[in-house]
């Protein structure tokens, strides 16, 4: 199983984000049903390990919090822009939950996450898009902002690579206090 831990987004937020999609030739837009905020990518695991992951996540105690999406930006790899995203305001509640998830997964023997946590919602894969189009998109949408949304749970997802896009399946939801 290929797993990751994320915050699911309400349908109204997904609909707002979907309005941003389009207008960049070569961009592969993420289907709205796949919008999420990754707390921790786990990767391929055996079924016994998936059960350990579930038990570790179920033991997490953290309060709910507000999530605020704002601004757009890009990620680069090797000098090429490879992703377009909507930013997420880093709050104490979000940072606390992400740290709890990371600690719980390390306790059961998973390798520590090497990348710094940069909360975002990926809108598109952009390795085939013209850089000037992406820069223009970011400049045109840099004031994008949505009202805060209440986060009351986090989710363990499985991911299966599909023909056009990955298929994300929510496996277990964990309530926040």
Give the C-alpha separation, 155 to 177, whole Å: 14
Q: What is the chain's alpha carbon radius of gyration, rounded to the nearest angstrom?
A: 16
Reported residue count of the chain is: 177
DSSP state of 32: G
Single out the catalytic residue among 13, 17, 69, 120: 120
pLDDT-derived band at 118 (thresholds 50, 70, 90) equals very high
Residue 42 three-state SS: strand
Give the C-alpha separation, 7 to 154, whole Å: 5
Give the C-alpha separation, 168 to 149, whole Å: 22
Give the C-alpha separation, 125 to 75, whole Å: 10
Residue 106 three-state SS: helix
Instruction: Identify the weakest region by mean pLDDT among 60-69, 113-122, 158-167.
Output: 158-167
Residues 6+ apart with CB under 8 A from 17: 9, 32, 35, 69, 86, 121, 123
Residue 161 confidence (pLDDT): 84
- What's the pLDDT tens digit per position in 73-114? 999 999 899 999 999 999 999 999 999 999 999 999 999 999
Determine how β-strand 120-125 pairs with β-strand 28-29.
antiparallel
CATH number of the domain located at residue range(s) 2-158+171-175 in this protein: 3.90.1140.10
Residue 36 is among the residues annotated as catalytic for this protein:
yes
Single out the catalytic residue among 3, 36, 37, 74: 36
pLDDT over 80 (residue 165): no
pTM as predicted: 0.94
Determine how β-strand 167-175 pairs with β-strand 153-160.
antiparallel
Residue 120 is among the residues annotated as catalytic for this protein:
yes
pLDDT-derived band at 164 (thresholds 50, 70, 90) equals confident
Count of C-beta atoms within a 10 Å radius of residue 39: 24
Residue 55 three-state SS: helix
124, 83 Cβ separation under 8 angstroms: yes
């Amino acid at each position: 199983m290929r797993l990751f831990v994320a915050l699911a987004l309400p349908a109204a937020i997904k609909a707002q984000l979907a309005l941003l999609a389009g207008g960049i030739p070569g961009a592969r837009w993420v289907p709205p049903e796949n919008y999420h905020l990754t707390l921790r990518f786990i990767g391929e695991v055996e079924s016994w390990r998936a059960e350990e992951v579930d038990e570790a996540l179920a033991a997490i105690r953290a309060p709910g919090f507000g999530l605020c999406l704002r601004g757009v930006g890009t990620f680069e790899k090797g000098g090429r822009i490879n992703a377009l995203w909507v930013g997420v305001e880093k709050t104490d509640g979000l940072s606390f939950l992400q740290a709890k998830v990371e600690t719980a997964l390390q306790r059961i023997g998973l390798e520590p996450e090497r990348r710094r946590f940069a909360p975002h919602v990926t809108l598109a894969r952009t390795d085939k898009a013209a850089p000037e189009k992406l820069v223009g998109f970011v400049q045109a949408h840099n004031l994008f902002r949505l009202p805060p949304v209440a986060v009351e749970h986090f989710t363990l997802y499985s991911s299966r690579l599909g023909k056009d896009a990955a298929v994300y399946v929510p496996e277990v939801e964990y309530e926040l206090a």
